[in-house]
Amino acid sequence: MKSATRYFLISLALVAVILAGCSEDTSMPEVGEGSFATLRTYLIESDLDLPDILTDYLILASDLEANLSEYYVMDIRSEEVYNAGHIDGAVHSSLAQVVTDAASSGGKPIVVACLTGQEAAFAVVALRLSGYEDAVSLKWGMSGWNGDFDLWTGNTASIAVGHDNWSTDATATLTPHAYPLLATTATDGAGILAERVAAMVSGGFKGVIAPNVLASPGDYFINTYLAQGDVTTYGHLDGAYRINPLTLDANEFMYYDPNETVVTYCWTGQNSAIVTAYLIVLGYDAKSLKYGLNGLVFSELTANKWTGPADYAYVTSAPVLAAQ
């Protein structure tokens, strides 16, 4: 195929995809040739599609505290914040270095701790795509471990309740788009994936605060990553789509517009951070809405709601470096 057309769709295949929240069936284009197609095939064949990454990726503070010796805990907060208090035995790392530093885990399953659980989700995507399939994130981050680190309480809000840009109408109709163009020098799936993971972690956590999106939802391509019943119950940001499930294998990712800034939100910002990190690896300009519904309609929630931190012990010693 001519190089000028290698990144475009070369055929159409009718795929019956019925998504709750979508008003009608759509004809889904096939993925053609090029770096993205190579990466997609590799991820599917390696059991690294998004649902594989989203499976059992969280650990509760209570479970970690009760079985601490069984895990290799990597704390990716800043060194200053780490020094002020961290889980006993946790090694200090960073999002940028988490894959490299994971080599010191000694075969133990890895737990990543951050401030709120949202940046750690980025790290879990990087680790799972790099062979650490048992890596998990500490739910709620260090905010859930001890109240001395609590950032969650001050970031719960109900700013969307009664707001003109909060809608109870049906979510927007889904339309397939072309797939993104990848910036990569590699030609095989494993090489492309390694480059894309490195680009994702070096770029840092990509988040956006709720007031900005609520004020101007039309500036973003918004996906409400929730079940249809939850969207019906609580509403959604005006103009938002609902793309869930989201897989490479069924091409549902092609409902995302690669030319827009994609914002995903969920209950707590932890699932949406996983989705966002994965989309960045795929080549999308993606951001996670911080704190999710807990930062939008907190007073209305009856499930998946922040209820406050635990009171587990921590230490304040100098950092244990992951590379040692």
pLDDT tens-digit map of 78-135: 999 999 999 999 999 999 999 999 999 999 999 999 999 999 999 999 999 999 999 9
pLDDT tens-digit map of 51-88: 999 999 999 999 999 999 999 999 999 999 999 999 99
298's torsion region: left (phi>0), alpha (psi -120 to 50) or beta? alpha
Domain 35-51+157-300 CATH (choose: 3.65.10.10, 3.40.190.10, 3.40.250.10, 1.10.1740.10): 3.40.250.10
DSSP 79: H
Over the chain, what is the mean pLDDT? 90
Rounded to whole angstroms, the Cα distance separating 92 from 98 reads 9
Q: What is the identity of the amino acid at 315?
A: V
Domain residue spans of the chain: 35-51+157-300, 55-155+310-321
pLDDT at res. 13: 30
Instruction: List CB contacts of 136: < 8 A, sequence separation 6 or more.
Output: 56, 57, 58, 59, 109, 110, 111, 112, 124
pLDDT tens-digit map of 181-219: 888 899 999 999 999 999 999 999 999 999 999 999 999
Rounded to whole angstroms, the Cα distance separating 229 from 222 reads 18
Q: How many other C-beta atoms are found inside a 10 Å radius of the C-beta of residue 25?
A: 13
pTM across the whole model:
0.89
Q: Which CATH architecture does the domain made up of 55-155+310-321 adopt?
A: 3-Layer(aba) Sandwich (3.40)
